[in-house]
A and B are shown apart, each in its own frame.
Chain A
Amino acid sequence: MVNLAFLVPLFPLIGSIINGFFGLRIGKDWVGKIACGGPILSFLVVVLLTVSLFFHPEGTPYPELILFNWIPAGSLQIEFGFQIDPLSCVMMMVVTGVGSIIHIFSIGYMYEEYSYYRYFAYLNLFLFSMLLLVMGNNFLVMFIGWEGVGACSYFLIGYYFNKKSACDAATKAFVVNRIGDFGFLIGIFYVFQAFGTIDFSTVMAAAPTTLIYDSTTATLLTMFLFLGATGKSAQIPLYTWLPDAMEGPTPVSALIHAATMVTAGVYMIVRCNALFNLAPLTMTIIALIGGGTALMAATIGCTQWDIKRVLAYSTVSQIGYMFLACGVGAYTAAIFHLVTHAFFKACLFLGSGSVIHGMHHEQDIRKMGGLKDHMPITYLTFLISTIAIAGIFPFSGFFSKDEILYHALMDGNVIYWGMGISGALITAFYMFRLVFLTFHGESRVDPHVHPHESPAVMTMPLIILAGLALGGGLLGIPIIHGWHVLGNWLEPVVAFDWTTALHHSETVLASHGHHESFAELLHSKQVHEHSWWDISWELLLMAFSVCVAGVGIFMAYLFYIKFPDMPGKLTKGQWGFDMVQNKYYVDEIYDETIVKPTVDASYRLWKDADQKGVDGAVNGVAKIIGFMSKIAQNFQSGFVRNYAMFMVIGFVILLIVI
């Protein structure tokens, strides 16, 4: 069954090639069919693969499909292969499943675009790259996917290439991502240096007996990998590109900038959990950055007026939660939230796409309101997803977010939990603010615009995703032991042999004269596993977070339905509000501190170093050569007799030499 794995990325690739090269000739209908056919076929194969994994004997290594020996260079042996294990299966399910739905939605949303085929070619190419990313059996295959999704993201953000803002946003996304990719690449080199291989299964198996707990190597290595993750997953300090990326078509925002690509960083950390476990300092930083991002992006989300930007900050914030989960070692919770987030955030983005479609490309929520009568299906699905993201029982977001908060308190400390719970409060507030402003209240719609419900090809995906957002939580029911399906499923991937690792570290440190005991730590890790299902605590926390979400929703109701004048009065002249509205001036700070000096320095390099130094050297060389050839030209008289003479001279010299 594993042998079929190569089909998964192949179908989107074929779709991309056909659409890219022949898209204009085969007509819009066929472009749409081919583009959707690829992901759907892939999804079917993924289902097969997942089912086959159920029959995988326990305790044996997970199958890998090696396609070919890619880089055989001395000690560096890299194979091009796919890893089929529970984690990659979950990711493949999300990518192909949500991907298929969004492709279908795109048929309706993008129908009026001229370069329809180009859009689908990129979108299919994106799926191909994303599948490489999640399926790769070593860091380098993952890196290809990593770069591929970055490139596709660039293409698709800049899809409206005659719009300057879109091009700028694409460039920004690309450049910011590059910083992260740089870190990731160095991380890969570091892994190779430390382990002598970059194969996931080998590295993860060797990690406990190779890296020393809390050593500089472990910390630096994971920090570089994490830098890569912050770039791709839009975390502090590299999150600024994601809100701007909303210049792309809305389904792109749903697929790339909400459901799949931006979660690649989380996937990478979970994939390398054995490395991160050994670097407590990095884990702390991840948790702090995750929590900080969750909180900060949420506050910005409260002040934005563009429907997609609100969702973009919400995405940044939700991914912050995932990183928070990773930072406290709750990898299952991170993946769980990744899955549910993919469902409800894709639904929200597609819903916003449906609204934008119905409003004839109006994105400002100040010019909406009362839309629920005009587009009931969109309203309903949007509402379901909003409740899910706010974390109300029994919607999917409730389960995943509470698991994260629970682990933040239990495995981390009260600061993490505080960040998470205040983020949850603000999330509930701004999401309902969005719903109320868009769908409820007085209609502020421009009289020329007549909002209408979207066609079935767009509402069907919404309904499916809303269903998933509603029921996705069933994957991870807490409290009742054994019902956490996702947790059991991922158990083999995130299992970590603390005993071996810590004993090894102790031995190595002792041999270097540092007598340190990790017994206490080991004990805490082991005890911890027993106290996993601390029911009363968990119930209490759940009740509390539902209350918090309720408070957030009620505040939104007060502000935007009951007293619509209040927000304006409250925020008028407040410097704090201005600061948040302007996104804490982070873009401006980056401009002043990084972009401007870089541009200035580059300009100086260009004018002084390049034009004078480099060009001078190049031109000088050319001039010298020109001068020499002027001399040499005299020999090339063009007279055959002269050539004959030189031949004879050469012959004579040869004779004399002999």
Chain B
Amino acid sequence: MVPLSHYLILSATLFSIGVLGVLIRRNAIVVFMCVEIMLNAVNISLIAFDRHLNQHDGQIFSFMVMAVAAAEVSVGLAIIIALFRNRPTVNLDEFNLMKW
């Protein structure tokens, strides 16, 4: 029997790694992958709590998270392709139109 805190620590660690990746990588696709890591980290804690409390709500929730992740990835990658068509790079720092 693994204590709940271990799962949560794993989840937090993975989440932080995801954050770090989002912050330091410039490749848009890798940034997306890091977002996936963060989503998965949350899934771990959801299921761990589920197990801890003996109910299924958390699993349903992580199922929804997967559905949203799928939707997000498909749209996100489509956006990256559209951007890449305008400017042949996926370097996020090149897309600095937010500064005017």
A639–B91 CA distance with the chains assembled, in angstroms: 10
Choose among A636, A641, A645, A648 the residue that contacts B92 (Cβ–Cβ < 8 A): A641
**Smallest Cβ-Cβ distance to B28: which chain A residue:** A640
Q: How far is the CB of B20 from chain A (nearest CB, A)?
A: 9
Number of contacts between A and B (CB, 8 Å)? Answer: 29
Q: Is there an interface contact between B23 and A640, defined as CB atoms closer than 8 Å?
A: no
Q: Is there an interface contact between A644 and B96, defined as CB atoms closer than 8 Å?
A: no
A637–B95 CA distance with the chains assembled, in angstroms: 12
A585 CB–B CB distance under 8 Å:
no
Choose among B19, B24, B95 the residue that contacts A640 (Cβ–Cβ < 8 A): B95
Residues of A contacting B31 in the complex (Cβ-Cβ under 8 angstroms): 641
Residues of B contacting A645 in the complex (Cβ-Cβ under 8 angstroms): 23
Residues of B contacting A643 in the complex (Cβ-Cβ under 8 angstroms): 98
Q: Is there an interface contact between B98 and A641, defined as CB atoms closer than 8 Å?
A: no
Q: Is there an interface contact between A648 and B98, defined as CB atoms closer than 8 Å?
A: no
Residues of A contacting B92 in the complex (Cβ-Cβ under 8 angstroms): 639-641
Choose among B26, B97, B99 the residue that contacts A641 (Cβ–Cβ < 8 A): B26
How many A residues have CB within 8 A of the partner chain? 10
A90–B31 CA distance with the chains assembled, in angstroms: 87
B73 CB–A CB distance under 8 Å:
no
A645–B20 CA distance with the chains assembled, in angstroms: 9
In the complex, per-residue mask of A614-639: 1 if CB is within 8 Å of any chain B CB, else 0: 00000000000000000000001111
Q: Is there an interface contact between B22 and A641, defined as CB atoms closer than 8 Å?
A: yes
**Smallest Cβ-Cβ distance to A651: which chain B residue:** B19
B93 CB–A CB distance under 8 Å:
yes
A644–B23 CA distance with the chains assembled, in angstroms: 7
Residues of B contacting A638 in the complex (Cβ-Cβ under 8 angstroms): 96-99
Residues of B contacting A640 in the complex (Cβ-Cβ under 8 angstroms): 92-93, 95-96, 98
Q: How far is the CB of A442 from chain B (nearest CB, A)?
A: 83
Q: Is there an interface contact between B93 and A636, defined as CB atoms closer than 8 Å?
A: no
Q: Which of B1-34 contact A (CB under 8 A)?
A: 19, 22-26, 31
A644–B93 CA distance with the chains assembled, in angstroms: 12
A645–B24 CA distance with the chains assembled, in angstroms: 9
Q: How far is the CB of A567 from chain B (nearest CB, A)?
A: 81
A641–B35 CA distance with the chains assembled, in angstroms: 13
Q: Is there an interface contact between B23 and A648, defined as CB atoms closer than 8 Å?
A: yes
A575–B96 CA distance with the chains assembled, in angstroms: 86
Q: Is there an interface contact between A639 and B93, defined as CB atoms closer than 8 Å?
A: yes
Residues of A contacting B19 in the complex (Cβ-Cβ under 8 angstroms): 648
Residues of B contacting A648 in the complex (Cβ-Cβ under 8 angstroms): 19, 23
Residues of A contacting B97 in the complex (Cβ-Cβ under 8 angstroms): 638
In the complex, per-residue mask of A336-374: 1 if CB is within 8 Å of any chain B CB, else 0: 000000000000000000000000000000000000000
Q: Which of B75-100 contact A (CB under 8 A)?
A: 92-93, 95-99
**Smallest Cβ-Cβ distance to B31: which chain A residue:** A641
Residues of B contacting A641 in the complex (Cβ-Cβ under 8 angstroms): 22-26, 31, 92-93
**Smallest Cβ-Cβ distance to B96: which chain A residue:** A638
A500–B19 CA distance with the chains assembled, in angstroms: 90
**Smallest Cβ-Cβ distance to A645: which chain B residue:** B23
A626–B93 CA distance with the chains assembled, in angstroms: 26
Residues of A contacting B96 in the complex (Cβ-Cβ under 8 angstroms): 637-640
Residues of B contacting A637 in the complex (Cβ-Cβ under 8 angstroms): 96, 99
**Smallest Cβ-Cβ distance to B23: which chain A residue:** A645
Residues of A contacting B95 in the complex (Cβ-Cβ under 8 angstroms): 640
Q: How far is the CB of A646 from chain B (nearest CB, A)?
A: 10
Residues of A contacting B98 in the complex (Cβ-Cβ under 8 angstroms): 638, 640, 643
In the complex, per-residue mask of B48-73: 1 if CB is within 8 Å of any chain A CB, else 0: 00000000000000000000000000
A640–B31 CA distance with the chains assembled, in angstroms: 11
A444–B97 CA distance with the chains assembled, in angstroms: 83
Q: How far is the CB of A33 from chain B (nearest CB, A)?
A: 59
Residues of A contacting B24 in the complex (Cβ-Cβ under 8 angstroms): 641
Q: Which of A42-62 contact B (CB under 8 A)?
A: none
A194–B68 CA distance with the chains assembled, in angstroms: 74
A644–B31 CA distance with the chains assembled, in angstroms: 11
Going nearest first, the 3 A-B pairs with the smallest beta carbon separation are A638-B99, A638-B96, A645-B23
Q: Known pairs A637-B99, A644-B23. 15 more at Cβ < 8 A?
A: A636-B99, A637-B96, A638-B96, A638-B97, A638-B99, A639-B96, A640-B92, A640-B93, A640-B98, A641-B24, A641-B25, A641-B31, A644-B22, A645-B23, A648-B19
Pairs A–B under 8 Å by Cβ, sample size 8: A637-B99, A638-B96, A638-B97, A641-B25, A641-B31, A641-B93, A643-B98, A648-B23
By a beta-carbon cutoff of 8 Å, the part of chain A in contact with chain B is 636-641, 643-645, 648
